[in-house]
A and B are shown apart, each in its own frame.
Chain A
Amino acid sequence: MTSGRAETTVTDQEPEQKPGGTRLIGGPGLLLVWLYGVMVVGAVSRSVYQIATEFDRAPLAYSLSAIAGVVYGFITYTLVRGGETARRAALVCCAAELAGVLTVGTWTLVDPSAFPDATVWSDYGMGYLFIPVLLPLTALYWLRKARPA
């Protein structure tokens, strides 16, 4: 009995002891990483350019684009790194990203005057083929499925 219980405990702990175990960039994850990479380049380069040249025109919009870029960058990094901790961090960030898209998307529709210029997340990411709103949903689904059994 005792040995049996010990074995079960060991098996239960195993996923925790191998942080590199969960590979997140295989299969559908590859497409996710690529799309997140595109969004990182898009959001970061856009916000850097706009903040550097015309920040006063729409400070709120450009700051939000910059934040979006940072979030995308972090999610890309966690996906590439893999492992259980990274998977959980990515889950949290994707949820935050989804909340951000929905909040900013609604905000731009309700109060357009606050946004003299567009952000990455304006109108739920319409300027980016709605990728900003579809990507976190897909990623959340993928990350939940990749959970170690």
Chain B
Amino acid sequence: MLDALTLATGVAALLLAAWCGWAAYRDQPTKDWHFIGMAVVTLLTLVQLVVGVVQLARGEEPEQGTVIFVAYLLGSFACVPAAGFMSLAERTRWGSITVAASGVVLAVLEVRLYDIWKG
């Protein structure tokens, strides 16, 4: 796995969390700009998914097992969009808090991804 990509995704996830946390603090729902932010973070996880699969296809092995690695790649890809769609239905600050929580969870997943690849 590209360390730089994992780091960038983790940092972007935390920034998204802080941004949506700020919106929640100001009692605002998620807005168009937040959704663009979520799209950027999701795009990063998608690139990560592709890069990860390509590396597996080239015969590289994650230290802690291929199945766990792919499961975490899929999980980190689904994490933020799932919360984003839920926040569409909840037009209050709680939608923002949910997206913020998804950013924190994604950052944790990135740390785990790093461990799984390196062992």
B interface residues, tally (CB under 8 Å): 20
Closest 5 CB pairs of A and B: A30-B90, A27-B94, A31-B98, A34-B98, A30-B94
Residue pair A30, B95 in contact (C-beta under 8 Å): yes
Which residues of the other chain, A, contact B98 by a CB distance below 8 angstroms? 30-31, 34
- A residues sitting closer than 8 Å to B (CB atoms) are 25-31, 33-35, 37-38, 41, 45, 49, 53, 129
Pull 19 A–B residue pairs with CB atoms less than 8 Å apart, ordered by A: A26-B90, A26-B94, A27-B90, A29-B94, A30-B89, A30-B90, A30-B94, A30-B95, A30-B98, A31-B97, A31-B98, A34-B102, A35-B101, A37-B82, A38-B105, A45-B71, A45-B75, A49-B68, A129-B108
- B residues sitting closer than 8 Å to A (CB atoms) are 67-68, 71, 75, 79, 82-83, 86-87, 89-90, 92, 94-95, 97-98, 101-102, 105, 108
Residue pair A34, B82 in contact (C-beta under 8 Å): yes
Chain B proximity of A45: nearest CB distance (Å): 6
- Chain A contact residues, majority secondary structure: helix
Chain A proximity of B24: nearest CB distance (Å): 10
Residue pair B86, A33 in contact (C-beta under 8 Å): yes
CA distance A125 to B86 in the complex (A): 26
Residue pair A34, B71 in contact (C-beta under 8 Å): no
Which residues of the other chain, B, contact A30 by a CB distance below 8 angstroms? 86-87, 89-90, 94-95, 98
CA distance A26 to B82 in the complex (A): 16
From A31, A35, A37, A38, give the contact of B94 (CB < 8 A): A31
